[in-house]
Structure 1
Amino acid sequence: MRIHRISGIFIATSAIASLAACSVSTTPGGSDQAAGKKSDTLSIGFSQATQQSPFYVQLREGAEKAAEKAGAKLNFADAGDDVTKQNNDIQDLITRGVDVLLINPVDPKGVQAGIAAAKAAGIPVVTVDRPVPSGAAAHVGRDNKEMGRLVGAEVAKSLGAKGGKVIEIKGDAGGAVARDRSAGFHEAVAANKKIKIVAGPYCDYIRSKAVTAMQDLLQTNPDVKAVYAHNDDMALGALQVLKENGRTDVKVAGVDGLMEAVKSIAARGPYLATALNDPISLGATAVGTALDVQAGKKVDASVDAGTGLVDASNASSYTGSTTFALAGKE
């Protein structure tokens, strides 16, 4: 079995262990409102872009479990893909007296108002999954360009010298994750001049939007040989449309290691490859980093939680009951 390198897999931070003995606050912001005094329990505010994708649901769960293990209080807010709401959510978390803020930004530039408010309140900010241009003490994520590159190399290998048309279904417009996953993929297939990439629309990482997009894309590109989507949820939406139209000859690839995709790869169907992006470990790493930052410990400006390729050679070793393949399992 070919083994692919997995770099920088999550290592538990010292903050998780050092805070394990603390009690969990039962009041917002970790404050003892009845007594009018600050609680000893550390309070983490987590402003998340959306809950409309399985990845982000699991990211929240990973953060919640890590905070509970550390004895910290996690205050969560879902922006619903609305940057104005996210800035308001951040202000609310500040008002509730959180000690440190985790932000998964809807719009890296648009959320600067919330980050500025946190800075004015003396609350450090750690971003997760999507970086911001400035204002964060640290960013926790994965190398999305490498993810795109890993998957792109596998798609190019599958298409061979004949190449063919590849439809690319994109994530979010203007997002660093979508930009990097696209750039890495394009770099990986660039050597094969017979591969032509057709740019699909931005579907915000949501399967139902990818289904609608793929229905139109298939009609206008009947000669398509492969589909690359910026996450597995959208790739599975595209695969659904292909199957409904009897096009099991078209290869599909995505990113994130969604278990549904991993099992399809293991079955050696049209689904070709994905890249690991375990959101549970990412959420845990983000919480650990936030607690280290709040404690005044030195942390890297960019914390890489690691990735790796899942293809037909190793997919069976990643299959399981989790929603996403666990990083470091192979």
Structure 2
Amino acid sequence: MTTKSLIHRTLIACALGLFVAGSTANAAGKPKIGIAMPTVEGDWYSAVLYGAETEAEKLGYEVVVLDAGGFGHPEKQVDQISNLIVQQVKAILTDPIDPATLDGAVRTAHQTGIPVIGLGTPVISANIEPDAAATSSQCQLGELMADGAKRLLPNGGTIAALAGPPGAYWATERYACFVKSIAGAKIDIVAERNSEEDPATALSIANDLLQRFPKVSLFYAADDTYGVGAGRAIQQAGRCGAVQVLMAGFGKAAEDTMRGGCAQFVVAQRTVLIGRTASDLADKLARGETPASRLVEVPFLSITPDHVGEVPLADIRQPADWKP
């Protein structure tokens, strides 16, 4: 037996033992739902967590939220999911840093009867059918961003890409489908950068790219963290409108950037609705019900400055005073 197999079997045994030993104690209090996030920083993560947490609480659950601290810590997310299994939660919601790394943890959850629900990104495990996911297709989002690029650059042009966190599944899939969809449109990508999700870092990178490529037409921003940074760099250079910004996500800072004329096209996920839907799926599975659909794809919104005031914000953004 390999060391890896031994560790995996030990984890299963411990989880099963603790599951049985603690069942009486849990029966006295509220049932728990666990949420394992790659990070709780940033508009998207706060909004999806708000939707999931408030819906789960409304359904009568105590919510346990664990934060891996960023996309550079997939092993920590695995450990946190294992921790939630030991806590005997009724279901686990997770936005996987890298779905492939969760294989062992998902198997353990299944063997202890705990469903694992994708929160924004499906959870894929080898030889195990996914329990459920509330998501929006990352590839479709990339394709819609490509449609936006074609609308903004009808005669062609150049793009500098702030492509997202290195190794993050959602960013890689989104960007790959964007690149594929602009092929043949006389649009050239002249620069591509990956970085952690931080507006200050995005601003610094965008400043550098503006200096290196002064004739760039458009910034692609993997989400609004990067889009806000790019918009601020363009604003500081006095070039809002001359250099355009295309981004995913519509947090408050992204809205302000668009209203200020420094962002021209946004593809927004209904992030709060994704979180609510994931908790609804978790509740049904925890109670032994079969959802009408195990994969619920929540539709996108394409936003331009012309109708920025018509956006249904309750589906997209948490209240201003809510903090994770």
| Shorter-chain TM-score tier | 0.7 to 0.9
1:233 aligns with 2:233: no
* 1:176 aligned to which of 152, 155, 169: 169
Q: How much does 1:253 deviate?
A: 1.1
Paired letter, 1:52:
E
Q: Separation in 2 of the partners of 1:196 and 1:37?
A: 57
SS of corresponding position for 2:258: helix
| Corresponding residue of 1:273 | 265
Moved more, 47-56 or 143-152: 143-152
| Corresponding residue of 2:251 | 258
Q: How much does 1:104 deviate?
A: 1.4
Q: Separation in 1 of the partners of 2:255 and 2:217?
A: 20
1:156 aligns with 2:147: no
Q: CA RMSD in A?
A: 2.8
Q: Separation in 2 of the partners of 1:260 and 1:211?
A: 13
Q: Separation in 1 of the partners of 2:23 and 2:123?
A: 37
Q: How much does 1:88 deviate?
A: 1.6
| Corresponding residue of 1:316 | 309
Q: How much does 1:98 deviate?
A: 0.7
Q: Separation in 1 of the partners of 2:174 and 2:135?
A: 13
Paired letter, 1:155:
A
Q: Separation in 2 of the partners of 1:69 and 1:138?
A: 20
SS of corresponding position for 2:276: helix
Equivalence map 1:179-328=2 (5 Å): 179-193=172-186, 195-248=187-240, 249-266=242-259, 269-299=261-291, 300-318=293-311, 324=317
SS of corresponding position for 2:154: helix
Instruction: Give the gaps of 5 or more residues in structure 2.
Output: 1-17, 320-324
| Corresponding residue of 2:35 | 46
Q: How much does 1:250 deviate?
A: 0.2
C-alpha distance after superposition, 1:103-155 (max 9, x if no partner)? 11122112223222212322111111122332431121112222222232222
C-alpha distance after superposition, 1:67-106 (max 9, x if no partner)? 1111112111111122222122112211111111111112
| Corresponding residue of 2:85 | 94
Q: How much does 1:301 deviate?
A: 3.6
TM-score normalized by the length of structure 1: 0.80
Relative to 1, partners in 2 of residues 1:72 and 1:215: Cα closer, same or farther, differing over 3 Å?
A: same
Query: Conserved in 2, the CA contact under 8 Å of 1:61 and 1:283?
Result: yes
Relative to 1, partners in 2 of residues 1:141 and 1:271: Cα closer, same or farther, differing over 3 Å?
A: same
Q: Percent identity?
A: 25
Paired letter, 1:167:
A
* Larger RCO (CA within 8 A; separation ≥ 6): 1
Relative to 1, partners in 2 of residues 1:263 and 1:127: Cα closer, same or farther, differing over 3 Å?
A: same
Q: How much does 1:164 deviate?
A: 1.4
Query: Conserved in 2, the CA contact under 8 Å of 1:170 and 1:205?
Result: no
1:75 aligns with 2:64: yes
C-alpha distance after superposition, 1:6-38 (max 9, x if no partner)? xxxxxxxxxxxxxxxxxxxxxxx9x9x897452
Q: Separation in 1 of the partners of 2:26 and 2:227?
A: 50
| Corresponding residue of 1:106 | 97
Query: Conserved in 2, the CA contact under 8 Å of 1:131 and 1:176?
Result: no
Q: How much does 1:214 deviate?
A: 1.5
Instruction: Give the gaps of 5 or more residues in structure 1.
Output: 1-28
The total of aligned residue pairs comes to 295
Q: Separation in 2 of the partners of 1:137 and 1:172?
A: 27
Q: How much does 1:215 deviate?
A: 2.5
Higher helix share: 2
Q: Separation in 1 of the partners of 2:193 and 2:123?
A: 23
TM-score normalized by the length of structure 2: 0.82
